[in-house]
Chains A and B, each alone.
Chain A
Amino acid sequence: MIVVRAPLRISFVGGGTDLPDFYFRHPGRVLSTTIDKYVYIVINRTPLIDKVSARYSLSETVDAPDELQHTRIKHALIDFGIAKNIEIGSFASLPAKTGLGSSSSFSVALIKGLYSYQKKNIDKTGVAEAACRLEIDLLGEPIGKQDQYAAAFGGFNVFQFNPDDSVDVHPVFLDYKMRRMIEDHLLLFYTGIARPASSVLFEQKANIGGKFETLKSMADSVPEFTERLTRGDIQGLGSMLHDGWTMKKTLASNISLDSIDALYGAGMDAGAFGGKVLGAGGGGCMMFFAPPERKKVVRNTISEAARSMGLSEFKEIPVEFVQSSAEVLLNADNHRARGASSEIA
Chain B
Amino acid sequence: MPIITERAARLRKLRNAMREYIKNFSEKARTALSEIPADEVARALNILQAAYERDGRIYVFGNGGSLALATHWVSDFNKTVFSHNLEKHTRRFQAIRVPTTEEELTAWANDVGYDMVFAGPLQNYLQDSDVAIAISSSGNSPNVIKAVELAKSRYVPVIGISGFDGGALNRLADAKILVSTEKGEYEVVEGVHAVILHLMTKYFKDYFDDLEEREKKQR
Q: Are chains A and B native binding partners rather than an unrelated pairing?
A: yes
Write the residues of chain A forming the contact surface with B, with a CB cutoff of 8 angstroms: 5, 116, 121-124, 154-155, 171, 173, 175-177, 180, 322-325, 327-329, 331
Flag if A121 contacts B154 (CB, 8 Å). Answer: yes
Flag if B46 contacts A180 (CB, 8 Å). Answer: no
Flag if B54 contacts A327 (CB, 8 Å). Answer: yes
> Could you say which residues of chain B place their CB within 8 Å of the CB of A324?
50, 53-54
Flag if B206 contacts A176 (CB, 8 Å). Answer: yes
The listed residue (B49, B154, B210) touching A323 by CB distance below 8 A is B49
Beta-carbon nearest neighbor of B41 in chain A: A173
Flag if B50 contacts A154 (CB, 8 Å). Answer: yes
The listed residue (B43, B53, B54, B207) touching A176 by CB distance below 8 A is B207
Name B39-70 residues within 8 Å CB distance of A.
39, 42-43, 46-47, 49-50, 53-56
Q: How far is the CA of A180 from the CA of B53 in the complex (A)?
A: 16
The listed residue (B43, B54, B155) touching A122 by CB distance below 8 A is B155
Give chain B nearest CB distance to A31 CB in angstroms: 16
Contact with A along B110-135 (1 / 0, CB 8 A): 00000000000000000111000000
Contact with A along B202-219 (1 / 0, CB 8 A): 010011001000100000
Q: How far is the CA of A154 from the CA of B50 in the complex (A)?
A: 9
20 A-B residue pairs with Cβ-Cβ distance under 8 Å, sorted by A, are: A121-B153, A122-B155, A123-B155, A124-B155, A154-B50, A155-B50, A171-B43, A173-B39, A173-B42, A173-B43, A173-B46, A177-B210, A323-B50, A324-B50, A324-B53, A325-B50, A327-B129, A328-B128, A329-B129, A331-B128
Q: How far is the CA of A327 from the CA of B128 in the complex (A)?
A: 8
> Could you say which residues of chain B place their CB within 8 Å of the CB of A176?
203, 206-207, 210
Write the residues of chain B forming the contact surface with A, with a CB cutoff of 8 angstroms: 39, 42-43, 46-47, 49-50, 53-56, 127-129, 153-155, 203, 206-207, 210, 214
Q: How far is the CA of A202 from the CA of B145 in the complex (A)?
A: 50
> Could you say which residues of chain B place their CB within 8 Å of the CB of A5?
54
Q: How far is the CA of A173 from the CA of B41 in the complex (A)?
A: 10
> Could you say which residues of chain A place their CB within 8 Å of the CB of B39?
173
> Could you say which residues of chain B place their CB within 8 Å of the CB of A323?
46-47, 49-50, 53
> Could you say which residues of chain A place their CB within 8 Å of the CB of B203?
175-176
> Could you say which residues of chain B place their CB within 8 Å of the CB of A123?
155
User: Shortest 4 CB-CB distances between A and B: which pairs?
Assistant: A328-B128, A173-B42, A323-B50, A323-B49
> Could you say which residues of chain A place their CB within 8 Å of the CB of B42?
171, 173
Q: How far is the CA of A331 from the CA of B154 in the complex (A)?
A: 13
> Could you say which residues of chain B place their CB within 8 Å of the CB of A177?
210
